């Protein structure tokens, strides 16, 4: 049960990161990038890693939640072929 909540938290967090980094105007993005470059480069690369991972995680987790909610619930065990038999 706790894993389900962590998945939701990850989706929400990656969405927020994606909106912050992608939704800003171009001038703000350049400004933010300059600030991050002048700051510690490790921080900048960790933020870049978060951004790239959010780009990967967001569609993947959305697809997983879609499958779990709509596809797996509608497939009954009787309709699946019995592999053990």
Q: What is the mean pLDDT of residues 80-85?
A: 60
For residue 17, give the DSSP letter: H
Lookup result for tokens 């171009």 = 26
Domain boundaries, the chain: 2-65
Closest CA to 61 of 8, 1, 17, 5: 8
For residue 35, give both structure tokens: 């600030």
Tell me the percentage of the chain whose pLDDT exceeds 90.
0
C-alpha to C-alpha distance for 4 and 10, rounded to whole angstroms: 10
pLDDT tens string 21-57: 665 565 655 666 666 556 556 666 677 777 777 777 7
Residue 68 clears pLDDT 80, i.e. is over it: no
Angle (CA) 80 83 85, round 5°:
115
């Amino acid at each position: 049960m706790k894993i389900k909540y962590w998945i939701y938290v990850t989706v929400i967090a990656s969405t927020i990161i994606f909106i912050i980094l992608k939704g800003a105007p171009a001038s703000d993005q350049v400004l933010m990038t300059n600030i991050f470059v002048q700051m510690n480069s490790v921080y900048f690369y960790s933020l870049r890693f978060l951004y790239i991972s959010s780009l990967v995680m967001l569609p993947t987790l959305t697809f997983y939640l879609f499958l779990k909610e709509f596809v797996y619930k509608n497939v009954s065990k009787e309709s699946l072929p019995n592999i053990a038999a």
